[in-house]
Amino acid sequence: MAHTATGATTSLLSIHRLTTTTGSTANSFSSLRTSSPSLFSTRLRSVIRPIRASSSTTFTESKDLKVNTIPTKPIEGQKTGTSGLRKKVKVFMQENYLANWIQALFNSLPAEDYKDALLVLGGDGRYFNKEAAQLIIKIAAGNGVGKFLVGKEGILSTPAVSAIIRKRKANGGFIMSASHNPGGPEYDWGIKFNYSSGQPAPESITDKIYGNTLSISEIKLADIPDVDLSSVGVSQYGNFSVEIVDPVSDYLNLMEEVFDFSLIKSLVSRPDFRLTFDAMHAVTGAYASPIFVDKLGASPDSIYNGVPLEDFGHGHPDPNLTYAKDLVNIMYSDNGPDFGAASDGDGDRNMILGRQFFVTPSDSVAIIAANAQESIPYFKTGPKGLARSMPTSGALDRVAEKLNLPFFEVPTGWKFFGNLMDAGTLSICGEESFGTGSDHIREKDGIWAVLAWLSIIAYRNKDKKPGEKLVSVSDIVKEHWATYGRNYFSRYDYEECESEGANEMIDYLRDLISKSKQGDTYGDYTLQLADDFKYTDPVDGSVATKQGVRFVFTDGSRIIFRLSGTGSAGATVRIYIEQFEPDVSKHDLDAQVALKPLIDLALTVSKLKDFTGREKPTVIT
């Protein structure tokens, strides 16, 4: 029988819409085709467009499913960074670009990991996700995957994907997101792959995928029509099926197991407590109302920018003081709410604010860890261990010491926490980059962090009568500093620098540390150690090198330099500055003022201006 790669439907397939949990009338794809032939073919063409067909395209039947084998050629530059493959969306829309990477991934996995396997698919709702979803489903089916669980409308937050993989015992999952990077036709797209523990694929897998992108020669594409993502239910294509699932329910169930919702509700529904959650027109818009409003009794107007949009409403969905401006303005206004939080594109980052008060992510994880046992049922026997990424401030170290808990310092990137969690030695961890989470899943989790904070505030105020002054976010943070000391911390980002200058700067710093020795003086500081951070995973012995150039001084102050692994254009230089202050009378300084001497030192030592031409950072956190 003659087929073409672009005319991919076949009348031989039996495709049925089997169930809908909403009870709405089941659709069949054949009726969609008959009733709306032009819509169907337009949609299909747009999906198949990235695949190059040629006269050498071949066809094989696989378990009732027709699979087209499409020749392709390697494409340069498909190496994943800190968190998946991220590029401008136009790059992903090039012929075969996404298809090559997905096929390379299947070529990298042992067959038993994906043949007849159950996989999860979802994303942050950004531009190109729906087309990408169709392509991913078809290639997965072409490679013998058994079933896909897909978030309705292609929506699933990164933490929800991790939660669903774990709950449904799936073999892995795809997340279509460039996280906090902007979306839309001119901006970014990305894809991440998580494996069966719900954790981002380790470098051993991503390196293999990259290797296979350089030798790929064919793509296996199942000959099935577009899947209707718009309603919950199951579609069967031969032995392959796709179940569209509600994006919220599994995740919400998990949150109800972790937290005491009635405790949180007792706070959130108080007339003298107001919260604002800024979903930044990103994926947590789908989760915020069902959780904060419907379950916890917040007023509907406490959700801000709550509708997920393909371009995030022209925003940059990164919850920090620069990009979450709407929330910052609300929280710093006269008579602002008591609690504010925001989450990023794919829902794994968080920012926590009190009234006119910013909680640094490094402090946030330390405070959650210090209060977890009494405020959060999941930790009722105490956390098993704590961990942070290397550039994150040492506030968490002090909590681990006081609670006598195992403590780990890992490289930047969430993937390094998973092995420790699987080994049962890590419960709560965080990164300075607005990532906080625990071993309830294997990703950082924005809404989890918000619920953790609400639990702590609720616990501290549970006996307060109406009209009594509540313990505030700033009270909790200041008490923490008084107990543990304050780790002043700031990060300077220089985004989209010329790669050449940025790389030269890092080479220069590597050379400098190779010549440095303990006792050297840098301005008023004496060097304790200078190195390029190297990590040996205590569980599997794998080694990660060149994870950031750090200068640690004898008073515990640190300056750290690294290049971002998540950007999509040029190079982003990150400088991390930290200084410990035990004296409570010096805890009320602005971080920029307290850290000024170290910041100046970092700029001088690195010769940043000479190498990059930059006078000022683009973002300060």
Binding-site partner at residue 346 among ligand G1P, Zn ion, none, CB < 5 to 8 Å by type: Zn ion
Query: Two tokens at 148?
Result: 């896909």
Binding-site partner at residue 357 among Zn ion, ligand G1P, none, CB < 5 to 8 Å by type: none
255 alpha-carbon distance from chain centroid: 18
Q: How far is the CB of 413 from ligand G1P (least distance, A)?
A: 5
Nearest-CB residue for ligand G1P: 564
Rounded to a whole number of angstroms, the CA Rg of the chain reads 25
Q: Residue 445 interacts with ligand G1P (CB under 6 A)?
A: no
Q: How far is the CB of 565 from ligand G1P (least distance, A)?
A: 3
Helix or strand holding residue 49 (H, E): none
Phi/psi at 442 (nearest 5 deg)?
-120, 30
463: exposed, middle or buried (Cβ count in 10 Å: 0-12, 13-18, 19+): exposed
Q: Is 371 helix (H, G, I), strand (E, B) or coil?
A: helix
Q: Which amino acid is at 191?
A: I
Q: Based on CB atoms, which residue is closest to ligand G1P, 154 or 413? A: 413
Binding-site partner at residue 551 among Zn ion, ligand G1P, none, CB < 5 to 8 Å by type: none
Candidate residues 243, 260, 338, 346; the one interacting with Zn ion per rule CB under 5 A: 346
Q: Based on CB atoms, which residue is closest to ligand G1P, 42 or 545? A: 545
Nearest-CB residue for Zn ion: 179
Interactions with Zn ion, residue window 152-191 (CB under 5 A): 179
Q: How far is the CB of 577 from Zn ion (least distance, A)?
A: 24
Q: Residue 124 interacts with Zn ion (CB under 5 A)?
A: no
Interactions with ligand G1P, residue window 121-160 (CB under 6 A): none
Q: How far is the CB of 180 from Zn ion (least distance, A)?
A: 5
Size of the site for ligand G1P (CB under 6 A): 14
Candidates 44-52, 247-255, 339-347, 389-397 — which segment interacts with Zn ion by CB under 5 A? 339-347
Q: Based on CB atoms, which residue is closest to Zn ion, 104 or 451? A: 451
Binding-site partner at residue 547 among Zn ion, ligand G1P, none, CB < 5 to 8 Å by type: none
Cβ atoms 412, 562 nearer than 8 A: yes
Cβ atoms 231, 244 nearer than 8 A: yes
Q: Give the up-direction half-sphere exposure of residue 569: CA atoms within 13 A in the CB hemisphere.
A: 12
Interactions with ligand G1P, residue window 73-112 (CB under 6 A): 82-83
Candidate residues 433, 438, 472, 579; the one interacting with ligand G1P per rule CB under 6 A: 433
Candidates 157-165, 431-439, 524-532, 597-605 — which segment interacts with ligand G1P by CB under 6 A? 431-439
Candidates 200-208, 327-335, 347-355, 479-487 — which segment interacts with Zn ion by CB under 5 A? 347-355
Binding-site partner at residue 439 among ligand G1P, Zn ion, none, CB < 5 to 8 Å by type: none
Q: Residue 284 interacts with ligand G1P (CB under 6 A)?
A: no
Q: Got the DSSP string for 298-357? A: --GGGEES-S--TTGGG-----STTT-HHHHHHHTSTT--SEEEEE-TTS-BEEEEETTE
Please give the Cα distance from 60 to 220 (Å, whole number).
10
Q: Which amino acid is at 136?
A: I
Helices (H), 49-157: 89-92, 97-108, 111-114, 129-142
Candidate residues 348, 363, 443, 578; the one interacting with Zn ion per rule CB under 5 A: 348
Query: Two tokens at 165?
Result: 């993989």
- Mark whether 179 is an active-site residue: yes
Tell me the CA distances in angstroms from 337 to 275, 376, 414, one per residue in order.
6, 23, 31
Please give the Cα distance from 452 to 369 (Å, whole number).
10
* Residue among 205, 191, 156 nearest 418 (CA): 205
Interactions with ligand G1P, residue window 338-397 (CB under 6 A): 389
* 473-484 and 446-460 helices, crossing angle to 10°: 90
Please give the Cα distance from 324 to 361 (Å, whole number).
15
Q: Residue 431 interacts with ligand G1P (CB under 6 A)?
A: yes
Binding-site partner at residue 414 among ligand G1P, Zn ion, none, CB < 5 to 8 Å by type: ligand G1P
Binding-site partner at residue 491 among Zn ion, ligand G1P, none, CB < 5 to 8 Å by type: none
Give the CA dihedral 235, 240, 245, 250, nearest 10 degrees: 150
Q: Based on CB atoms, which residue is closest to ligand G1P, 225 or 317? A: 317
Candidates 48-56, 170-178, 429-437, 612-620 — which segment interacts with ligand G1P by CB under 6 A? 429-437
Candidates 91-99, 268-276, 409-417, 546-554 — which segment interacts with ligand G1P by CB under 6 A? 409-417
Please give the Cα distance from 68 to 49 (Å, whole number).
15
Please give the Cα distance from 397 to 407 (Å, whole number).
7
Q: How far is the CB of 125 from Zn ion (least distance, A)?
A: 13
Q: Residue 574 interacts with ligand G1P (CB under 6 A)?
A: yes
Candidate residues 199, 564, 606, 612; the one interacting with ligand G1P per rule CB under 6 A: 564
Residues listed for the chain: 621
Q: Residue 433 interacts with Zn ion (CB under 5 A)?
A: no
Catalytic residue among 157, 179, 343, 606: 179
Q: Residue 162 interacts with ligand G1P (CB under 6 A)?
A: no
Cβ atoms 43, 9 nearer than 8 A: no
Q: Based on CB atoms, which residue is closest to ligand G1P, 223 or 344? A: 344
* Residue among 319, 193, 300, 299 nearest 619 (CA): 319
Q: Residue 226 interacts with Zn ion (CB under 5 A)?
A: no
Tell me the CA distances in angstroms from 448 to 285, 287, 438, one per residue in order.
15, 11, 9
Q: How far is the CB of 410 from Zn ion (least distance, A)?
A: 18
Q: How far is the CB of 242 from ligand G1P (least distance, A)?
A: 29
The 8-class DSSP code of residue 146 comes to -
Residues with a catalytic annotation lie at 179
Where do contacts with ligand G1P occur on this chain (CB under 6 A)? 82-83, 179, 389, 412-414, 431, 433, 435, 564-566, 574
